[in-house]
Structure 1
């Protein structure tokens, strides 16, 4: 379920308090420091529940967030948050450490202890809220993760950051069933990252194994338009054999070639249905989405949708 909220729908003088109540009641109880001038209080908030995982996206004017010692002692469910920077810069402070986030960076913080979030230049963030019990990791391992940005060169941080970015961007398309199915592997990926960055990296082995299928499909979606998207390349990216790749996909009922072709055709269909229509030629569209020739694309498109691509575009844009 997704809900949206904006200060634009609230009378000017009530915006600051309305924003505070929205964050406290729907995300986490915190002290929110906002600009004193009512006309400078602007925020757009989108909140999505994906099973026990909550994704919040916030765009707002400069602010500061404090989880005080009193609030940290409150009898609410312990939660681990992940901040994902979209644009601008922010700072996460907890346990005597601080992490400065730039676009694409993530950092963790734990509601069981005080923390501060600083957004001196405004807020443009995704926040992922995960109940601590769902992660099933020792407290000392979680403590090592807070207020740090994961290693910039590691494969696991890149994987998790890319996955979370895509999840936040596409969460509005998830129905209830899809959301429930994605919740567990999403949290397993986070668990793997925390463990891999800790002094007990062996804890990451099981979640990485359990989420291999999800990670492969996320990789395929990210590289769907690449001309060289082959089983060998995908297998190499995940440090497995091509045979193992086919076996993992088969467990999810996915055939490599059929899945890639279907997803590419669907992407082309959506683009051909745009209003107003694009001026891109059918040949250029086919090439951009990884088809080897316009004729091959046209035959595959007609087989899937009953019309050649040009006829589909023309039909969708009749006056």
Structure 2
């Protein structure tokens, strides 16, 4: 699947890229270009159709309205559906003012943005990317700084929520996944990808959760 990429540098340190399907042109993706910034983070906001981004060897499946944080050095070329569209934001790590240990925890994890902080951040970023009148203006730069602060808040919320649930996640998540598998056992579309989409985890996380399970359980998520 080919694609077309358009970009803007009119928001200071925050750069935006719009990636959409195209039958004739194949872009050099921002995190794969020779000019990529190894000290930058790429935030993918998926808008339409299906897309899977391979990050650190793990395929992360995003559905519309999901968001994902990617490290430039660990991201490969995405696998797209026929009519996809997504917006990519590039921001220097230092601008986020978030600990590297916290950033590593959120990397490659699909974040659902249907409600709460995720919905607020994705809505703000989407509006900012589309409002070209703000680009290259003093107000636009100030708004872009606010966008970076919102991204940092989203990372902080994710990490704090993960820490709060860490004591019960080992028992609760596999239990929910097992129930989901049993419910959809006769569904021909049941696959690791459909399971991770339903539970907002990565394929690697899915397999890790079931490493200690029996052979039959591991086969169902393979």
Task: Establish whether residue 95 from structure 1 lines up as the match of residue 95 from structure 2.
Answer: no
Q: Distance in 2 between matches of 1:100 and 1:128?
A: 18
* Alignment gaps of 5+ in structure 2: 164-222
* Alignment gaps of 5+ in structure 1: 1-34, 36-40, 203-319
Q: 1:153 to 1:101 in 2, by over 3 A?
A: same
Aligned to 2:42: 81
So what's the TM-score if we normalise by structure 1?
Answer: 0.43
Q: Give how far 1:199 is off.
A: 4.4
Match for residue 173 of structure 1 among 117, 123, 133 = 133
Task: Establish whether residue 51 from structure 1 lines up as the match of residue 12 from structure 2.
Answer: yes
Contact 1:66 1:115 in 2 (8 A): no
Higher CA-based Rg: 1
Match for residue 190 of structure 1 among 148, 151, 163 = 151
Q: 1:67 to 1:152 in 2, by over 3 A?
A: closer
Q: 1:78 to 1:201 in 2, by over 3 A?
A: same
CA deviation digits over 1:60-110, x for unaligned, max 9? Answer: 337696967xx7xx9944111111122111112213433322222211101
Provide runs of 4+ in structure 1 moved above 3 Å: 62-68, 74-77, 151-154, 199-202
Instruction: State the SS of the aligned residue for 2:152.
Output: helix
Aligned to 2:85: 124
Q: Distance in 2 between matches of 1:132 and 1:119?
A: 27
Q: Distance in 2 between matches of 1:163 and 1:75?
A: 25
Moved more, 148-157 or 45-54: 148-157
Q: Distance in 1 between matches of 2:85 and 2:61?
A: 14
Contact 2:67 2:112 in 1 (8 A): no
Q: 1:199 to 1:94 in 2, by over 3 A?
A: farther
So what's the TM-score if we normalise by structure 2?
Answer: 0.60
Q: Distance in 2 between matches of 1:75 and 1:158?
A: 28
Q: Distance in 2 between matches of 1:44 and 1:123?
A: 12
Q: Give how far 1:156 is off.
A: 0.9
Instruction: State the SS of the aligned residue for 1:50.
Output: coil
Instruction: State the SS of the aligned residue for 1:45.
Output: strand
Quick check: which one's helix share is greater? Answer: 1
Give aligned pairs, total. 159
Q: Once superposed, what is the RMSD of the aligned Cα atoms? A: 3.2
Q: Distance in 2 between matches of 1:200 and 1:106?
A: 17
